[in-house]
Amino acid sequence: MNSYSPEKDELLKRLRRIEGQVAGISRMVSDDRYCIDVLTQVSAVTSALQSVSLKLLDAHLAGCVVAAAREGGPEADAKVKEASDAIARLVRS
Amino acid sequence: MNSYSPEKDELLKRLRRIEGQVAGISRMVSDDRYCIDVLTQVSAVTSALQSVSLKLLDAHLAGCVVAAAREGGPEADAKVKEASDAIARLVRS
Amino acid sequence: MNSYSPEKDELLKRLRRIEGQVAGISRMVSDDRYCIDVLTQVSAVTSALQSVSLKLLDAHLAGCVVAAAREGGPEADAKVKEASDAIARLVRS
Amino acid sequence: MNSYSPEKDELLKRLRRIEGQVAGISRMVSDDRYCIDVLTQVSAVTSALQSVSLKLLDAHLAGCVVAAAREGGPEADAKVKEASDAIARLVRS
């Protein structure tokens, strides 16, 4: 069990599709396809990965942060800190 | 009272500094300064605004989300949803 | 004269509007407005600044880079390097 | 021949590494690894893809844009427009 269990299948499906898209970009580069066309595909994959990040973050907030806050202990602060650090990495990546 | 009360003075100080930086960029443009130098300043202000966003988001998570979760009602879901939407806007802005 | 001369008035208008928006965010914080509402405004200003960045970069490419390439000297490489560095800062800010 | 020919091997090496990293993230999700650990890996891959984008954009500027400007025809404008559109997608993805 983990925070993203309800969306595990959906996440795996997306990740496999992203893996295939990256393989497709390798083929485009091997075939000397036009740089801007390759770039368009890379941007599409970057957006798809960001959607995966947003789903995972959502799961962390709705799962880990809320659960820790409900338990009432000091753990909630640590979970919020993890979320904040992950958001900062996401915004700056 | 609000989620960012403990950091209100710090936030206001940063925002006033950002306002001054934007005025400085206007002067650079008025004075026909070199485009790349203007761009460097715009990137610096964009980074400063993103730090403000991260601080506000942090306040929302540590304040609103945790408080709503501790109360135990359905409000926590709404607060998490607000956070997720704000993060998506932030990542894509 | 500079690369953004044709859009100087438009840029100044946008920058003054952004300055006013930042002042508005300071007032929201002073008035203890809800964190998510403040955050929405900060994201709007961040987007507006990124549009300014894209306009300046466009001017640099269409102006400085193309002009240097047409002159045929080694200056074109330096102008491309400035553009690449500015884009990297933009993508990561 | 294309704008990124000198860096083709380097690009292919990076893309294959990214493909392997995405496969690794799928395994983490399959194994129910902690959401924040998965998120950290997704951010690393997003950064790696953005480096690929910056390399391709650099090749487009130093190759296509400069070459078209040197030829002196109207093609330079079209190449600059492609670069600007690609940068806008990159900044907003």
| Residue pLDDT, tens place only, C23-58 | 999 999 999 999 999 999 999 999 999 999 999 999
State residue A10's pLDDT score: 98
In a mutational test of the B interface, the residue from C35, C38, C45, C60 whose CB has the highest number of chain B CBs within 10 Å is C35
| Residue pLDDT, tens place only, A31-41 | 999 999 999 99
The answer to whether residue B1 scores a pLDDT higher than 80 is no
Q: Select from D76, D48, D67, D75 the least CA-distant residue to D5.
A: D67
Q: Select from A28, C61, C49 the least CA-distant residue to D92.
A: C49
The domain limits of chain B are 7-92
State residue B74's pLDDT score: 86
Cβ atoms of residues B59 and A59 within 8 Å: no
| Residue pLDDT, tens place only, B25-64 | 999 999 999 999 999 999 999 999 999 999 999 999 999 9
State residue A93's pLDDT score: 73
Closest residue of chain C to A88, computed from CA coordinates: C93
The answer to whether residue B24 scores a pLDDT higher than 90 is yes
Per-residue tens of pLDDT for chain D, all 93 residues: 799 999 999 999 999 999 999 999 999 999 999 999 999 999 999 999 999 999 999 999 999 999 999 998 789 999 999 999 999 999 887
State the ipTM, two decimals. 0.95
What topology does CATH give the domain D5-92?
Methane Monooxygenase Hydroxylase; Chain G, domain 1 (1.20.58)
Q: Which CATH number is correct for B7-92, 1.20.58.1000, 1.10.3720.10, 1.20.1260.10, 3.40.47.10? A: 1.20.58.1000
Cα atoms in the Cβ-side hemisphere of radius 13 Å centred on D41: 20
State residue D1's pLDDT score: 75
Which of D29, D35, D40 lies at the smallest CB-CB distance from A64? D35
**DSSP string covering chain C:** --TTGGGHHHHHHHHHHHHHHHHHHHHHHHTT--HHHHHHHHHHHHHHHHHHHHHHHHHIIIIIIHHHHHHTSTHHHHHHHHHHHHHHHHHH-
**DSSP string covering B25-75:** HHHHHHTT--HHHHHHHHHHHHHHHHHHHHHHHHHIIIIIIHHHHHHTSTH
Neighbouring chains of C at 3+ CB pairs under 8 Å are: A, B, D
Angstrom distance (rounded) from CA C20 to CA C55: 20
